[in-house]
Structure 1
Amino acid sequence: MAVQLPPFLFPFSKKQPLLSSSSSPSLPILQRIMINFHPISCISTATATSSPARRTANYKPTIWDDSYIQSLPIEFMEEKYIDQRENFMEEVRYLINQQHNLTEQLELVDTLCQLGLGYHFDAEIKNLLSSISSSMKNINNLIENNNLQDFALLFRLVREHGIHNASILRLDDLISYFKKEEESFNLNNQLDVKGMLNLYEASFLAMEGEDELDEAGKIAMKHLKYHDRSLLSLQLVEQIEHALELPLHWRMSRLHTRWFIDAYGRQKNFNPTLLQFAKLDFNMVQNIYKIELQELSSWWRNLNVVRGELNFARDRLVENYLWTVGYTFQPELWRSRKALTKINSLVTTMDDIYDIYGTLEELKLFTNSIEEWNIDAAQQLPDYMKKCLTVLFNTMNDIASSFSKDKELDILPCLKRMWADLCKAYFIEAMWYHNGYTPTLDEYLDNAWVTISGICTLITTYCLSDDLTFEAIKSLEFYPPIVQYSSMLARLYNDLGTCTAEIQRGDVPKSIQCYVKEKNVSESAARDYIRCLIRNYWKKLNKEHALSSNYVKSFRKVLVDIPRAAQCFYQYGDGYGEPDGETREQIICIIIEPISL
């Protein structure tokens, strides 16, 4: 029978409260598809005695056996370690409150954050940075002393911690000072090089419209890239090479922490207390991860989802847990980590159903069942889809019920809607594939920022926040620009890393292929264009993030951590679909192997 576009109403409006009584407006993408897209006939091959032809991606099985996960030792939980960490915390609080000079204060804050200890001292760090950046005396001293190193570091720290209203630190001052500093830049002076390094790092927090900061960062990068490394200390060279590979603002924080603990220990003037504190804290937090992962692995094993008819789907529980550590690493965010690992595992199964296995007729019924959130509506579906829906509905009900018992708030309507939105977007991609249609880049991206499933992470994190209120649920928007920018970055990173493999197995064209066809350019040129989009969307995200102080804290952090985690997974290719390379090593160093004390 002929396939027709379904009359789905897409909900991706700029400002649409959850509890609105009106229907969601349709997304403009559907109008463009209707104009540019002429669906062909798709004849079902199913009969009473035959099954429809199915594709397979031949994904590798999981490399993490449940028995291995359950055997992971749980250490560093004894009372002596808890007491030792408390003593370290008191020592660091004393350090923060001591009368340091400005350079010492800034370097202490930066070191604490890069060692992964900043979350223990959020209030103290914000108070200190607010005090420094609101003092005209401090700002004038930085300018008078030609101190680009501290000026650029303060600028980055203030932006990283969202200190805007209290700060009198101005971008114009930084740019003006940089231009003066560049004229007298001395490659033999390590302080000048550190100043350029700090400016380079600060430039990645540029907001949309701050072109001068962007250009200053590019100039700083050239100075760092082409200077004579033999003139610098080995420790500074290591920092520069690490930064040039990937700026701090784009790195997954927990992975960077693991690297920085080792790098800090190689510095000549490291603080032994800070180093020991960082190692102990890392190991203690890692044990929380192990306990959670063991619980989640048992849950996944008992569900037995990716077996039988669903054995075509990727089995990536441990990788999904790594994702959640990428954007909710703090111990107190345990509820989000557990829920998001379950949700991401089901997202993967759904994605593979839409991408490689389901027929278009099945997928239409499947999408309707999810939109209606009614298992009875799925009776016409094949067993593998019924099984997936049962697990999905039960898991979401469990997550919502558990939260409701603790907080007396009903988040299930939010979870239902995010799944409906995701699956509608999946269905559009399925139609494109089954009808041999290559969308324009804009058409693709209008839909693809949803199919990357960032909305699931963001909505879930928002709904599981400890400080969530009924008013916050009622005013939740689906989906503001900041959600779209965060998700778009994750999509673009994904496409750069996975498009070749996905096209080879017959998936819908990704952004690179869409741009190649639309503009008649080479794949290399298309990749360069996508990298340019990534830089631009980071600027948009930085700006919206600076204006988003009204959002709950955990939600604000995840907004920038989603693209960081995506960059980590896809920097060297498809680290999710083919996780036995870099991803395996990242899991080992973050979740499995402790640091020697």
Structure 2
Amino acid sequence: MNLVFSSSSSSSSSSSPSVLLRKLTRTSHPRMLVPALLVQAYQTRRGQAIVSNSSSSKVIDHPPAAQRRLAQYHPTIWGPDLIDSFTTHYTHESHATRWEGLKQNVAKALVASSTKDDACSILKLIASVQRLGVAYHFRKEIQAALVTLLSSTSTLSTTNDLHTAALQFQILRENGISVSSDLFNKFRSGEGSFKDSLSNDVEGLLSLYEASHLGMPGEDVLEEAKRFSSKNLKQSMATILNDDNLLKQVEQSLQSPVHWRMPRIEALNFIDIYQIRDDSKNLALLELAKLDYNLVQSVYQIEIKELSRWWRELDFKSKASFSRDRLMENYLWAMGISHEPQFSECRIGLTKFVCILTVIDDMYDVYGFLDELECFTDAVIQWNMEATEELPEYMKPIYVAMLEFGNELADNIFTNNGLNTLPYIKNEWVNLCTAYMVEARWFYGRYTPTLEEYLKNSWTSVGGPGAMLHAYLLTQGSQLTKASLESYNHGSQLIYWASLMTRLSDDLGTSKAEGERGDVAKSIQCYMEEKGVSEEEAQDYIKGLISYSWKKMNQESAKPSIPKSIVNMCLNMARTAHCIFEHGDGIGNSIGVTKDRLISLIANPIPLR
């Protein structure tokens, strides 16, 4: 990794991001938070504040604070009346004929282009279909085109065009087709660096930069590709000022590569870019992308209105006024993880999960006293209504909401599929609250964990494993079987890396605000204290961990044993985390970029003309 570390300690090879994360995965399997072990560890420390996770931890008694803490989150900007006012004239009933006709035209274009001996044309069309957000309509056509492409003479081994080779590498890996990074060796000199003659090929450099983000651990050629393309793209920006469209794409990619972008936001973004292409755009594809965006938006509006009624009935605005009132922002998580229109049940259920999780998170992080949080954790382990008797009054409606949500989901699945998934659901809530409890003890014990200690716990406390289980259960529908539940376990490593990536992105966006109000230390503060480095150096190190986590996700995503639905949801969770925390805390302070994005995604349709 091309990272700069301080000379004090972080410059040593043993402190590099990849070394730390390899150590973590050796010592802590991604399912290390096995409920039975968690419960046992929790109960041995009942009523005390732990100051370390190690075997030599000192345990101290610490009375609760004299008064409750409040985070002073701003009120929601999305009132129920505003949500109920969302409307659109783009409905499937009124636009079905045109929509179906456009899909047929695009499908024909994909078939026709795959029969031509022009690899670059079909690759550009597939890339555009994917970035415009309509690839879910054409999975069979795309796969068929790629099979035809690989069997033709225009293969990766023969093309000498950097743009074509990089684009084909990217698209093949995105679609789960194995391809070696060695194909880029032809573009390197004898010394191993990329040829200087490529430095002025902006289109090729841009494709190379995007392709480099599909790399896996050990693919040094892709690291060199990233360094070479990034350097030359930055230098080229002064020479392409007269091409606004290309300049915009270069700027966006250097800020965030396409592979890291949230699909729905990228669809909106690429529609603007694609419609400027006077020479090569497919007009039917462009119109389909706009119409499909608006039709999917109409589905989102129906869902958020239903969720608004559910949220009002819970009345957490008054019953848990200490917590973030963020229904719309939490819906953004669900939309990011599973955006296709047919997964409406998943988005609704996942939003409910995130809303309840957010209240519980704020209760552990900010509002609750330690002895109260111990009682709540006990109640979650018991998982029954009788456990509410031991809880403080303010915790009871929160606990009941969690219990009823989990039981209702399990009951629905049992009715429809004959499967008892309650143990899976309960275990994730136990894991989550036990991880929250570890952090609460750190806070009350005034203890700053090492980065390794922090990461062992926080990949769970970010809620990623719980979100992935719920998303999987909610997307499977009638296809959920005992065998598919077992196949879910094949994705444990991928879920780990996606959750870790989500946690690290969260920390980069929220650590400043949380540090100012005195919350428990996050990854940046842990590394600063452990290594004695500056905040900037710690942020660079965390960014290095994020880059390595993406490589591991790419590696896991390529495994055929992992269901494609889990791969897509894990990648999308990491992408959504990038989106939400790219400009700070997009949940806690949701007035800026997050508001603008939600308006575009849910409220405002795209003009078709």
TM-score for both structures, normalised by structure 1: 0.90
Cα distance in 2 between the residues matched to 1:285 and 1:539: 31
**Residues 69, 293 of structure 1: 8 Å contact kept:** yes
Matched, 1:483 2:483: no
Distance, in Å, in 1 between the alignment partners of 2:39 and 2:306 is: 41
Matched, 1:42 2:94: no
Q: CA 1:17/1:531 → structure 2, altered by over 3 Å: closer, same or farther?
A: closer
Partner amino acid, structure 1, of 2:345: R
Over 3 Å counting, the alpha-carbon distance change for 1:333 and 1:178 in structure 2 is farther
Partner deviation per Cα, 1:80-120 (whole Å, 9 max, x = no partner) = 41111100111111101113321111110000001111111
Distance verdict in 2 for CA 1:25–1:474, change over 3 Å: farther
**Cα distance, 1:345–1:157 mapped onto 2, change above 3 Å:** same
- Residues 162-173 of structure 1: matches in 2 within 5 Å? 162-164=176-178, 169-173=179-183
Of 151-160 and 76-85, the range deviating more from structure 2:
76-85
Find the counterpart in structure 2 of residue 3 from structure 1.
Answer: none
**Alignment partner of 1:354 is 2:349:** no
Amino acid at match of 2:600: C
The within-5 A match list for 1:265-304 is 265-269=275-279, 270-304=281-315
CA contact (8 A) 1:400 1:412 kept: yes
* TM-score, structure 2 normalization: 0.88
Structure 1: gaps of 5 or more residues: 1-11, 46-51
Which residue in the other structure is 2:187 paired with? 177
- Residue 516 of structure 1 corresponds to 528
Q: Quote the residue 2:548 is aligned against.
A: 536
Which is further off, 129-138 or 408-417?
A: 129-138
Measured at CA, do residues 15 and 58 of structure 1 come closer, stay the same or move farther in structure 2, by a change above 3 Å?
closer
| Paired letter, 1:508 | V
User: Are 1:365 and 1:378, in contact at CA under 8 Å, matched by a contact in 2?
Assistant: no
Shift of residue 17 of structure 1? 12
Matched, 1:419 2:419: no
Distance 1:187 1:211 in 2: 19
For 2:507, which of 468, 486, 495 is the aligned residue? Answer: 495
Partner of 1:546: 558
Q: Determine which of 450, 453, 468 is the counterpart of 2:480.
A: 468
Q: Distance in 2 between matches of 1:566 and 1:510?
A: 16
2:187–2:195: 8 Å Cα contact kept in structure 1? no
After superposition, the C-alpha distances for 1:508-559 in whole angstroms (9 at most, x for unaligned) are: 0001111111001111111111111111111111111111x33333221011
| Partner residue, 2:139 | 122
**Cα 1:264/1:476, change in 2 over 3 Å:** closer
The one-character-per-residue Cα deviations of 1:132-174 (angstroms, maximum 9, x if unpaired) are 23546523441xxx2111110000001111112xxxx432122
1:132 pairs, out of 131, 145, 149, with 149
**For residues 81-160 of structure 1, what are the structure 2 equivalents within 5 Å?**
81-98=95-112, 99-100=115-116, 101-135=118-152, 138-142=155-159, 146-160=160-174
2:220 is matched with which residue?
A: 211
**1-structure distance, mates of 2:222, 2:335:** 31
Confirm or deny: 8 A CA contact 2:51 2:446 kept in the other structure: no
Q: SS at the partner of 2:521?
A: coil
2:597 aligned residue: 586
Deviation track 1:250-278 (CA, whole Å, cap 9, x = no partner) reads 11111111111011111222222111111
Distance 1:140 1:205, change over 3 A: closer
Question: How far apart, CA to CA, are the structure 2 residues paired with 1:332 and 1:228?
Answer: 41
Aligned ranges for residues 166-565 of structure 1 at < 5 Å? Answer: 169-179=179-189, 182-183=194-195, 185=197, 192-227=201-236, 229-231=238-240, 233-269=243-279, 270-308=281-319, 310-464=320-474, 465-466=476-477, 467-474=479-486, 476-477=488-489, 480-547=492-559, 549-565=560-576
Using the TM superposition, give the Cα deviation of residue 381 of structure 1 relative to its aligned residue in structure 2, in angstroms: 1.2
Aligned partner of 1:509: which letter? A
1:392-417 deviation per Cα after TM superposition (whole angstroms, max 9, x unaligned): 11112222223333333332221111
Shift of 1:374: 1.6
After TM superposition, give the deviation of residue 290 of structure 1 in Å. 0.3
- Aligned residue type for 2:148: S
Show the counterpart of 1:8.
Answer: none
Mapped to 2, the partners of 1:435 and 1:228 lie a distance apart of 51
Question: The residue matched to 2:128 in structure 1 has which SS?
Answer: helix
Counterpart CA distance in 1 for 2:487 and 2:145 is 33
Which residue in the other structure is 2:6 paired with? Answer: none
> CA, structure 1 residues 58+118, in 2 after alignment: closer, same or farther (shift >3 Å)?
same
- For the 8 Å contact 2:488–2:566, the answer to whether it is kept is no
CA distance in 2, matches of 1:517, 1:13: 26
Task: From the superposition, tell whether residues 200 and 178 of structure 1 become closer, same or farther in structure 2 (CA, over 3 Å).
Answer: farther
Kept in 2, the 8 Å contact 1:15–1:479? The answer is no
CA shift at 1:248, angstroms?
Answer: 0.5
Q: Name the stretch that deviates more: 127-136 or 434-443.
A: 127-136
Q: Deviations over 1:406-439 (max 9, x none)?
A: 3333322211110000000000000000010110
CA shift digits 1:353-387 (9 cap, x unpaired): 10111111111110011111122123121111111
Counterpart of 2:206, as a letter, is L
Letter in 1 for 2:130: C
Q: Distance in 2 between matches of 1:53 and 1:122?
A: 57
Cα distance in structure 1, aligned partners of 2:107 and 2:86: 34
Contact 1:494 1:570 in 2 (8 A): yes
Q: Distance in 1 between matches of 2:188 and 2:543?
A: 26
Q: d(CA) in 2 for partners of 1:78 and 1:405?
A: 30
Give the structure 1 partner of residue 607 of structure 2: 596
2 CA distance for matches of 1:184 and 1:568? Answer: 34
CA shift for structure 1 position 582: 0.5
C-alpha RMSD over aligned residues = 2.5
> Against the structure 1 CA distance between its residues 522 and 439, is the aligned structure 2 distance closer, same or farther, given a 3 Å change threshold?
same
Q: Is the 8 A contact 2:38 2:431 kept in 1?
A: no
- 1:53 maps to a residue whose letter is Q
Q: Deviations over 1:282-317 (max 9, x none)?
A: 000000000000000011011112314x10010111
Secondary structure of 1:397 counterpart: helix
Structure 1 residue 324: deviation in Å?
A: 1.0
Aligned residues of 2:472 and 2:566 also touching (Cα < 8 A):
yes
Structure-2 separation of matches of 1:186 and 1:474 = 48
TM-superposed deviation, 1:62: 0.6
Identity of aligned residues (%): 37
Q: Secondary structure at the match of 1:138?
A: coil
| Deviates most, 471-480 or 22-31 | 22-31
CA contact (8 A) 1:57 1:356 kept: yes
